[in-house]
Structure 1
Amino acid sequence: MKKILVIEDEPNIRELVLYNLTQNSYEGIFAEDGETGLALARMEKPDLILLDIMLPEKNGYDICKELRAEGNKTPIIMLTAKNEEIDKVLGLEFGADDYISKPFGVRELMARIKAVLRRYESQNMTKADEKAKNKENRVLQIDDLTIDVERHEVSLGGKKVDLTLKEFDLLKTLAENRGIVMSRNQLLDKVWGFEYIGETRTVDVHVRYIRKKLGDEDNDGKYIQTVRGVGYKIP
């Protein structure tokens, strides 16, 4: 059950909102002033905050600013009796996710709550998916060749292959760009750095050492292929 914090000093509005939250399967908690509301936002960790602007002790703008300054990303919908555009803009600039003007209809309020929660969950899911994908990509697999980026280890058929730092970085770069032909200059830039002053032959030497350690010394090998006149790729 989603927990929603209502920070509102008008009893009639507060009771109406809390009742309808319960009817829509939300858990509602409340505060009657800004200081108490800010404390509850920190302590209760609600899923969403309905925040009135005009509050005793601390106004809604200040609460919003303080929470955002602390890194608190809880969705906030501002409740305001003001109709001037500047007041709505200020709320959004201070970090609110949405606003609704009083008097408001209960259906509209519930719809906005659902929309903001759905958007927030979607954004968080996307970030979680990206994180999982990035973690997954820390291990690169090419047939029976495994490159563990995080552990900085390479194994072939389960048997560890000892590579130097540059050999590992070169193999990893090719694996991360699998199917793409990379020129010697591109590989020099990515592995040795843009400021490296040396011959492209350096790449050829390291590729030869990697192939030897992988038992794959043919130019049209299983793991690293030579594209004549261009560079190298992992097919």
Structure 2
Amino acid sequence: MHRILIVEDEARIASFVAKGLTSAGFDPHTAATGPEAVVALANDRFDLMILDLGLPGMDGYQVLERVRSSGDRMPVIILTARSSVEDTVTGLSSGAQDYMAKPFRVEELVARVRLRLPEPEAPTTESTGRGGDVELPEALEHEGVRLDLRLRRAWVDDAPVELSAREFTLAEVLLEHPRQVLSRDQLLDLVWESTAVTSSNVVDVYIRYLRNKLGADRIVTVRGAGYRLATAEELARG
């Protein structure tokens, strides 16, 4: 069973991640501070580390530097509220294999953990809750919209577009189901599942935000049913 070290100072998030990993067949352990993580790494062996950046005592970059300077090539996934392109590039350049911004979906985190582990011992067919197995593509594309899932960056007709973490997740879900009409309830479940949001009005608000950035004609409202992406023919008609 693969041993995972979760370095996270917020107990609620650490518990949430640990429960998800346990359900997926992993053996999670937690550290709440940078120094605690360093001690854990010195005294035990882990197959992968999930690392927050804003840690007490020693930040995530310092922990990562300790790991890499010791010659340890253990996969590291940064999980942080810092979602800018600069932070993402810095994290990956510092030796992390992956970078995820909060808020996040535990199913996606588990999938990324599996992708970073050679010959994973956990089951490989568990659903992500988004209509498929846990294997995730590196990018998604649909009629001029492209999402880089690793760097969490977006382009429309090759022009970069700045999306918030929630807007990116909403766009990702829509591009994963390019020909499917997704109801407000489905989008609430897929995009906001790790929070306590209960009103479908938030979906309409974020659809409006996304239309402003991707183009109003790229997301179609299907009256009484929900939303879907526009087809090439619909975009051509303008």
Q: TM-score, normalised by structure 1?
A: 0.50
User: Radius of gyration: which is bigger?
Assistant: 1
Q: Which has the higher contact order (CA 8 A, sep 6+)?
A: 2
More helix by share: 1
Q: TM-score, normalised by structure 2?
A: 0.49
